[in-house]
Amino acid sequence: MSHGERLEVRAPENGCTSGLYSIDDSSVHSVTVNVNQDCAAAVAPLSLQFNDTPLTNISAHAESQAAGGTQSSINCVDSNGNPVGNSPEPDSGFADPVTASANGLAPGTYTCTIVIDPCRRGEGLRALPVPRYLWTRC
């Protein structure tokens, strides 16, 4: 580059960082070269700072320890109450097992609510395994 030459640069985006950071500023910035030198002999290199936000993946999982024992639902939301990722899981009702996940989230507050319900087995009444048959209503 020679003195007075203009260089246009963008925030770096390559295979090493793609998907790991959010490019906060994707606009083109101009820098004017003010010293005649090559890269090997650079004593006062030009610099332009970019701030890119690191991203995070989250997941929540619920699975009954007893086959058919419980079913669950998971709903993950951001600080404004908006669903993130594949929330809610399942789309309605309860299931077992169930996993909610969201990828590529910027720093912030996220809340996942897990509801575990032993009565979501499709039965209104169920027998308890005791010598006398007691019935409980869910």
Question: Using CA atoms, how far apart are residues 4 and 31, in angstroms rounded to an integer?
Answer: 10
**Average of per-residue pLDDT values in the chain:** 76
pLDDT digits (tens, 9 = 90+) for 23-82: 777 777 777 766 666 666 666 666 677 778 889 999 999 999 988 889 999 999 999 999
Omega of the bond leading into 97 within 30 degrees of 0 (cis): yes
136 occurs within a structural domain:
no
127 occurs within a structural domain:
no
pLDDT digits (tens, 9 = 90+) for 77-97: 999 999 999 999 999 999 999
Same domain, 78 and 93: yes
φ/ψ (deg, to 5) at 40: -65, -30
* Residues pairing with 109 in the sheet: none
Question: Using CA atoms, how far apart are residues 61 and 97, in angstroms rounded to an integer?
Answer: 8
Decide which of 39, 54, 69 is a domain's last residue.
54
| Residue 22, both tokens | 């959010």
pLDDT digits (tens, 9 = 90+) for 4-34: 455 445 555 554 556 677 777 777 777 776 6
Q: Parallel, antiparallel, or unpaired for β 53-54 and 98-105?
A: unpaired
Same domain, 78 and 42: no
- Containing structural domain, residue 38: 1-54
Structural domain total, the chain: 2
Same domain, 19 and 44: yes
| Residue 116, both tokens | 């575990």
pTM higher than 0.85, yes or no?
Answer: no
73 CB neighbour count, 10 Å cutoff: 22
Same domain, 63 and 40: no
Same domain, 109 and 96: yes
For residues 99 and 60, the answer to whether their CB atoms sit within 8 Å is yes
Question: Using CA atoms, how far apart are residues 11 and 25, in angstroms rounded to an integer?
Answer: 7
| Residue 112, both tokens | 């996942």
Question: Using CA atoms, how far apart are residues 46 and 29, in angstroms rounded to an integer?
Answer: 13
